[in-house]
């Protein structure tokens, strides 16, 4: 059923629900702490090291039989961003019905879409559109600056959220020099990386320093996200017409 909903209407519904949840919880600015958000929304977060997934949303009764109360069972992770994402995703599960109500779509008619809606809501809870887009434009979409402003979101999540705003961009993610993700936010099919992008990625990979370069109709920024045993580069390519340089 969501296939019949326009991209603009879906984004508006997601933003409206995310904004309402943050307002309900009294969150007035970044960073968004998903654990605090859950508590303010009346959702308990409890450890569960034995589950296979990172987190799951349940409704529990207490020892007196009172309830059920919404809860998130969370498996601990050494990366705080993963824990915040897991909790935010389950809050998205909790509130997904509000998005369907905004769109006047029956949740029962789109059961497979619930997971996607939870993901989209989670991204907007950790990186709310009004704040994130204003901050991103103010710093020229600098990933390093935005990560400092939104520490509970991963670098990749921040980069992917850049696809939800103008101007036309392509986001690419490389792990150990291999392209693993590449997507654009404009209607033209995304071509393979061009020479400017390849040179920027290679430079960031080799030196561990950010790289910026311009070609005909495009500007490329590459950020190395390097740590012991792992090398990732994230590229943001702003395009007028896709360059071949």
47 band by pLDDT with thresholds 50, 70 and 90:
confident
Note the pLDDT tens digit of each residue in 202-221: 999 999 999 999 988 889 99
Cis amide leading into 112 (omega within 30): no
Q: Is residue 86 part of a domain?
A: yes
Check if the beta carbon of residue 212 is closer than 8 Å to that of residue 220: yes
Note the pLDDT tens digit of each residue in 84-109: 999 999 999 999 999 999 988 876 66
Q: What is the domain count for the chain?
A: 1
Read off the pLDDT of each residue in 20-39 and give the average, rounded to a whole number.
96
Domain range for residue 4? 1-127
Q: Is residue 203 part of a domain?
A: no
Check if the beta carbon of residue 94 is closer than 8 Å to that of residue 121: no
Provide CB contacts within 8 A for 90, sequence distance 6+.
38, 43, 55, 56, 57, 72, 118
Which ranges of the chain does DSSP label H, i.e. alpha helix?
7-25, 34-40, 80-103, 113-126, 129-138, 143-149, 155-161, 195-207
Its pTM stands at: 0.90
Q: Is residue 244 part of a domain?
A: no
70 band by pLDDT with thresholds 50, 70 and 90:
confident
Q: Is residue 58 part of a domain?
A: yes
CATH code, domain with 91: 1.10.10.2910
Q: Is residue 137 part of a domain?
A: no
Note the pLDDT tens digit of each residue in 135-189: 999 999 999 999 999 999 999 999 999 999 999 999 999 999 999 999 999 877 8
């Amino acid at each position: 059923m969501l296939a019949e909903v326009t991209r603009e209407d879906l984004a508006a519904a997601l933003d409206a629900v995310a904004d309402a949840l943050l307002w309900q919880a009294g969150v007035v600015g970044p960073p968004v702490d998903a654990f605090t958000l859950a508590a303010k929304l009346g959702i308990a977060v409890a450890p569960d090291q034995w589950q296979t997934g990172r987190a799951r949303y349940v409704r529990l009764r207490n020892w007196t039989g009172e309830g059920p109360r919404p809860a998130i069972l969370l498996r601990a992770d050494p990366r705080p961003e993963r824990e915040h994402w897991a909790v935010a995703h389950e809050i998205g599960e909790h509130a997904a019905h509000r998005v369907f109500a905004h769109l006047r779509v029956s949740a029962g008619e789109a059961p497979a879409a619930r997971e996607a809606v939870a993901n989209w809501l989670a991204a907007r809870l950790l990186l709310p559109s009004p704040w994130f887009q204003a901050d991103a434009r103010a710093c020229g979409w600098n990933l390093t600056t935005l990560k400092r402003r939104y520490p509970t979101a991963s670098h990749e999540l921040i980069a992917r959220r850049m696809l939800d705003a103008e101007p036309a961009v392509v986001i690419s993610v490389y792990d150990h020099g291999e392209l693993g993700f590449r997507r654009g936010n404009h209607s033209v099919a995304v071509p393979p990386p061009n020479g400017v992008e390849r040179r920027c990625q290679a430079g960031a990979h080799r030196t561990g320093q950010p790289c910026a370069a311009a070609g005909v109709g495009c500007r490329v920024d590459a950020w190395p996200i390097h740590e012991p045993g792992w090398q990732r580069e994230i590229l943001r390519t702003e395009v007028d017409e896709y360059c071949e340089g």
